[in-house]
Amino acid sequence: MPLLIPEHFPALGLLEKEKLVLPEIMQKDVQVRIAILNLMPMKVSAEADYIRLLANSPLNVEIRWMKLRSHTSKNAPKEHMETYYEFFDKLKDEHFDGLIVTGAPLEHLDFSVVDYWNELTEVFDWAHGHVKSTLYICWAAQAALYHFYHVPKYLLPKKMFGVFPHHLLIKGLPIFQGFDDEFFVPHSRHAEVRREDILKADGLTLLAESEDSGVYMAMSGEGREFYVTGHSEYEPYRLDTEYKRDLGKGLPIEIPMHYYRDDDPKNEPVVRWRAHSSLLFTNWLNYYVFQHVHLKP
């Protein structure tokens, strides 16, 4: 629960019923400072996802929201971005213990034509040299793997969409403390990175994968960077929202796999990834951002 965020931050309204953020939290001493570069189009819902998970740690965490000068969000209100987000070039001289870079709906584009690619890679390089550990999520994981290791992404014939079982390839790492042998992760993406490219890249370690959805997590620098291809942070109804959104737009979309009870979209989702998600973020904060004892000097 101990988070330091603005008192009237809009995402807090989504979390009031969960009692995750209390007014007295704002007065606690900060132990960990996290920057989040939120590239998701629906800012407030993504903000709530990460606040919810970072609030599970017993650490006192300050969150700062980062934006890029080379990109203007088309979906977030201008007032929201001006009030709560700060430009990378203003934040880069401050101290941060951890960085999270979210996904973005850009998988159909080559990285070189993304309008903010040059500034984004500046963020990647800054984080590598100045931040103890970074979580790259979904498209950001694909982008960072390409930037640092020239790992290509491949467009999929259809969207990887649903909740899939995964297994660990390396056990005993602090990031997996408390994990079961099999755990579930939501995926919602049109592209993938492949295990053979990860395995042949010097400095990369493949940590977890799925027989159905492929690579899930890779690591570099003994935890300086984690590349996570799924959306462990998603709240229970996010895939449902995406499915109905695409249906409403007339887009070709299949029912998310292993998500609705009896695979029937008239039924409620079966939530089976939240415990793993909480462990992932808590372990990352505790062992790689706060203690910082598993990185190479």
Report whether 3 contacts 51 (CB < 8 A). yes
Residue 14 neighbours by CB under 8 Å, 6+ apart = 44, 45, 48
Instruction: For 126, list phi and psi in degrees, rounded to 5.
Output: -60, -45
166 is known as an active-site residue: no
Task: Choose among 108, 123, 5, 6: nearest CA to 55.
Answer: 5
Looking at residue 271, what DSSP letter applies? -
Q: Which of 166, 187, 231, 276 is catalytic?
A: 231
Report whether 162 contacts 256 (CB < 8 A). yes
How far is the C-alpha of 104 from the C-alpha of 102, rounded, in Å? 7
86 is known as an active-site residue: no
Report whether 65 contacts 50 (CB < 8 A). no
Q: Which of 47, 62, 107, 138 is catalytic?
A: 138
231 is known as an active-site residue: yes
Measured CA distances, 143 to 20, 56, 146, 205, 229 (Å) = 32, 28, 5, 17, 11
Half-sphere exposure of 289 (CA within 13 A, CB side): 28
Instruction: For 138, list phi and psi in degrees, rounded to 5.
Output: 50, -115
Q: Would you call 164 helix, strand, or coil by DSSP? A: strand
Q: Which of 233, 235, 242, 276 is catalytic?
A: 233
Q: Which residues are catalytic?
A: 138, 231, 233
